[in-house]
Amino acid sequence: MEKQTVQLRIKELQDLLNQYNYEYHVLDKPSVPDAEYDRLMQELLKLEEEYPEFRTSDSPSVRVGGTILDAFQKVEHRTPMLSLGNAFNEADLRDFDRRAKQAVGENLSYVCELKIDGLAVSLRYEQGVFKQGATRGDGTIGEDITENLKTVRSIPLRINKPLTLEVRGEAFMPRKSFESLNKAKLENEEEPFANPRNAAAGSLRQLDPKIAAKRNLDIYLYSIADLGETGVVSHSDGLDLLDDLGFKTNPERKRCATIDDVIKYIEEWTEKRPTLDYEIDGIVIKVDSLSHQSALGFTAKSPRWAIAYKFPAEEVMTKLLDIELSVGRTGVVTPTAILEPVRVAGTTVQRASLHNEDLIREKDLKIGDTVVVKKAGDIIPEVVNVMVDLRTGEELEFSMPTHCPECESELVRLEGEVALRCINPACPAQIREGLIHFVSRNAMNIDGLGEKVIAQLFKEQLIANVGDLYKLEKEQLLQLERMGEKSVDNLLKAIETSKQNSLEKLLFGLGIRHVGAKAAKTLAQEFETIENLQQASFEELIAIHEIGDKMAESVVAFFEQPEVTILINELKERGVNTAYKGPKPVNTANIESVFAGKTIVLTGKLEQLNRNDAKSEIEALGGKVTGSVSKSTDLLIAGEAAGSKLAKAQELNIEIWDEERLIQELKK
């Protein structure tokens, strides 16, 4: 295919995909099936990979996530992103109305918008092309999260007019995305996000944009920071302009002629709030006229022409029917409140975690109590307190058991821990939870082996440890409830595929205490095979950067267990890979370079080098690039506008180079 033809086809695909993306994510009116969109995207990705010179910064291919970042750069907002004052009741709203009218006269109107519970961001466009996105930060200085924001499909990479402007909006995670994300986290025995706001913020602050791309974030734009020569004279006109430019704005906004209309709007959405597919925590009220806004001005922290009405946290009373105990993979016994079903913030709540015995004592909980329940962050059910005055005398004291509710082994409280723990390695609950962890996404990633299937296999005594997963046969599985031939074939194929995983997946799946996914990869890279790791001493382990005393002790203790040796031998016999397959860490011993064996930090803006390229070159020459300055840092490379890291390096007397010196040394 001739280059000119390729270039034209790439442009055609980009335009088509941008159009389909706008129809789906902004207008909510898709014109083609998902399969067609995916087919065109794959064609574009392939062509851009073969002909990178034709890839543009506003290509829809950037939405899948780009290169991993080292750190976020600081961004100074040209127009400060101020916070809003709060109103909590009708009196506060009428007081706001009175002050505004005293300043500008009676003839004013308001615009009401739903207050999305997300992360405020600023987007800068140059000649109509998205150039930079940043967090609010402290209102003056934010963080550059451009690459992550490019993965939010409702953010246009090119707007409908070649304007240079800065717009503000609220990035958020829809309820369905949040529920799906937390379900996956729980399956992987990871801490779930407390609420969609934290999830959105956490997603947009990932150094790997591919993670943000998988989180299905959305955005509503709510203002133009610098209207310039747009001709806009009111806030409502500004929102209409955003629509015309191809941005996504909230369709539920309303222009209100009086404060009574504002209060009516608030009452309406207080009632309708649970029907939304995203979280809101209030209503934002803004004076509509820009001339009135200008006359009202600002305080040091917030505009005088806007206010945020905050919804009160919904708290309801219900009965504490029982306290149920569960045993996790590591043996921790967790109490859970079993509640009389009650509606809280739009959903029925029947259970709430009580975390540990100390919390039960602190709240003075008794079975049969009338308790107050709310949703922390409007998401996670939480017992707030006890209605002591409503006690009848029939309530029952609760005390944590002395023995495991699953295996009857004596429970212990390890030094420095709040939790009670079962330390019996043969405890059925721990084995079951360990199996669930082993097959989870971040471990062996065996699709089709969810909690229910594992529980069923365990109950039918088809599996007792992770090695048994690789002995399962088709005839056995077909005897199980809800197991058809196709699902069994898919499951056995997924189990077979998992045998090829790299060592770090297996290590994480084995559930060695204190060894998370990152540490598992570090160990796999360092020792390369599980046999080498089995023979590693405590001293060899703590010599590795990021491996501390506790983790080293845990690894040694784990591999000293005879049953672990038997299990690993069994896995190897079944064909499970026990070697590291990823890129090998650089061996600095054989490298003659000024960087070899040194810990190096890059900070500030590099003018001639791409930061990731600089990092790769330094690491290829035996250096280790980290993100923060400490006493172990050997060298700081300071680019333009280097800030606190430079100051700290000077304070610690760390050697400092500029970019020119770095380039000279890389050329040697």
What is the rounded average pLDDT of the residues 612-638? 82
Greater confidence (265 vs 57) lies with 265
Highest average pLDDT, of 13-27, 66-80, 563-577, 582-596, comes from 563-577
User: Could you tell me where the DSSP H helices lie in 528-574?
Assistant: 530-534, 538-542, 549-560, 562-573
Cβ neighbours of residue 415 under 8 Å, at least 6 residues apart?
A: none
Asked if residue 606 lies in contact with residue 613, where contact means CB atoms within 8 angstroms, the answer is no
Report the top-level CATH class of 315-397.
Answer: mainly beta
**Residue 282, CB-side half-sphere exposure with 13 Å CA sphere:** 18
Is 90 exceeded by the pLDDT of residue 222?
yes
Cβ neighbours of residue 588 under 8 Å, at least 6 residues apart?
A: 596, 597, 622
**Residue 425, CB-side half-sphere exposure with 13 Å CA sphere:** 11
CATH 3.40.50.10190: which residues of the chain?
588-667
CATH 3.30.470.30: which residues of the chain?
85-310
- Look up residue 211 and give its two tokens: 């993670």
Measure Cα distances from 268 to 167, 284, 313 in Å: 28, 14, 17
Asked if residue 340 lies in contact with residue 333, where contact means CB atoms within 8 angstroms, the answer is no
Catalytic residue chosen out of the listed positions 74, 101, 115, 310: 115
Asked if residue 224 lies in contact with residue 167, where contact means CB atoms within 8 angstroms, the answer is yes
Report the top-level CATH class of 428-498.
Answer: mainly alpha
CATH 2.40.50.140: which residues of the chain?
315-397
The domain covering 588-667 belongs, at the CATH homologous superfamily level, to BRCT domain (3.40.50.10190)
Cβ neighbours of residue 202 under 8 Å, at least 6 residues apart?
A: 193
Asked if residue 635 lies in contact with residue 591, where contact means CB atoms within 8 angstroms, the answer is no
Is 70 exceeded by the pLDDT of residue 124?
yes
- Alpha-carbon distance of 287 to 307, in angstroms, equals 9
Architecture, CATH, for domain 3-64:
Orthogonal Bundle (1.10)
Terminal-residue alpha carbon distance, the chain: 41
Total-model pTM = 0.51
Q: What is the pLDDT of residues 488-502, one digit of tens each?
A: 999 999 999 999 999
CATH 1.10.287.610: which residues of the chain?
3-64
- Alpha-carbon distance of 64 to 41, in angstroms, equals 10
DSSP label at residue 327: E
Band of pLDDT at residue 64, cut at 50, 70 and 90: confident
Q: What is the CATH number of domain 503-573?
A: 1.10.150.20
Catalytic site includes residue 115: yes
Average model confidence (pLDDT) across the chain: 87
The domain covering 85-310 belongs, at the CATH homologous superfamily level, to DNA ligase/mRNA capping enzyme (3.30.470.30)
- Look up residue 249 and give its two tokens: 């704005």
CATH 1.10.150.20: which residues of the chain?
428-498, 503-573
Q: Give the H/E segment covering residue 448.
A: none
